[in-house]
Amino acid sequence: MSVTRVELAGRSYEVRVDSGLLADFANQCGGLLRKKVVPVITDRNVAMHWREAIEQSLRDAGHVPEFLVLDPGESAKSWSVLERVVNWLLELEVERGDHIVALGGGVIGDLTGFAAAIIKRGCGFIQVPTTLLAQVDSSVGGKTAINAKAGKNLVGAFHQPSLVLADLGSLATLPLRELQAGYAEVIKYGILGDRDFFEWCEANGPRVIDGERAALEYAVTESVKAKARIVAEDERETTGARALLNLGHTFGHALEAETGFSDRLLHGEGVALGMVLAARYSARKVLISQQDAVRIGRAIAASGLPSDVSSLGLTCSGQELAAHMLHDKKMDAGTLPFVLLRDIGDAFLDKQVSLEDVAAFLGEQLAAS
């Protein structure tokens, strides 16, 4: 088992990565579960495969698990589902010192975390991430949210979990495409801040995607360590350190918006393409070499992720793609900070990027595809 501590004054917590954590759930939680009743929020896909393990563990320890099983998908991050979750928790008489369990991917984690943040002005929660994306990114760092009409993740709170249990075994039932999408966030840590880890990903990405235990454990643990470091440095994204985690997200967001935030392009796939575009744009500005941009594209493609916008068959102009960026939640007083590269493993925040130049660049990329 690897254990990484997210160090935050008064709110530090552990991220444990191992196989078999679900079956050992009650024991892992120790004193965090102080009452008989334990509320667990999950979705139907996850419940089908993993409810039994956690339920058995809780029952064996003398608890009474209560499950709320939601429809899978992004639509659960809505006001109506949040209301349902909150009312259900209040009916269970959840108190501030109690812990709610989020068993699932980023959708369940974000929704449950936000419910925990607002119930009785904040109660505890435990993240049990079951997608690769959730294990390496969304379960760590305390960003919780639902979506609003105006955009994704616009209503939320910073609310840290008390414990994260990432069971590598749970990834065995994850559809391949979801595993690949999560891998985009893994390789992202290498590209943005750790050249050695990028090189490890270049050599071992396919082993991670094949579900090889040792490769998965290393990939998840190194990603969690990177995220924990960044969150400890800049919990509320105010100094620029945490903003580097948005590498690929601004370009990716435009592609996700153009494809209607649909199954045509999963979030991680948008991030993968976005990182390739960020690398090519960095090369265009002579910050990195063309060879390094090509190298990043190759490493991403080797894991089965899309690495060329042509795969999307878009018919829009560069201008139209760039226009989506104006609605990006990272817009700050009329400018949009871009995460660009000085080198593989050395990302920085550029607040001077001209959206017109980006539109011209995107036009060239679309024309070349």
The residues of the shown chain that bind ligand GLY, judged by CB under 6 A, are 137, 141, 143, 242, 245
Which one among 4, 28, 112, 130 touches ligand NAD, defined by CB under 6 A?
130
Q: What residues are paired with 103 via a beta bridge? A: 42, 128
Q: How far is the CB of 287 from ligand GLY (least distance, A)?
A: 23
**Is residue 258 a contact residue for ligand NAD (CB under 6 A)?**
no
Question: CA triplet 329, 303, 185: central angle to 5 degrees?
Answer: 30
Pairwise CA distance, residues 51 & 16, whole Å = 19
The single residue of 77, 159, 178, 185 carrying the catalytic annotation is 185
**Is residue 267 a contact residue for ligand NAD (CB under 6 A)?**
yes
- 249 in active site: yes
- 143 in active site: yes
Question: CA triplet 147, 151, 154: central angle to 5 degrees?
Answer: 55
Which one among 77, 188, 242, 249 touches ligand NAD, defined by CB under 6 A?
77
What 3-state DSSP class applies to 47? helix
Phi and psi, residue 348, nearest 5°: -145, 165
Which one among 18, 98, 110, 194 touches ligand NAD, defined by CB under 6 A?
110
Distances (CA, A) of 123 to 26, 147, 368: 19, 21, 52
- 185 in active site: yes
Q: Where are the alpha helices (DSSP H) in 6-125?
A: 25-29, 44-60, 79-91, 106-118
**Is residue 18 a contact residue for ligand NAD (CB under 6 A)?**
no
- 330 in active site: no
By the criterion CB under 6 A, which residues form the site for ligand NAD?
43, 45-46, 49, 72-74, 77, 104-108, 110, 130-131, 133-134, 137-138, 141, 143, 152-153, 170, 173-174, 178, 267
Residues assigned a catalytic role: 121, 143, 185, 227, 237, 242, 246, 249, 253, 267
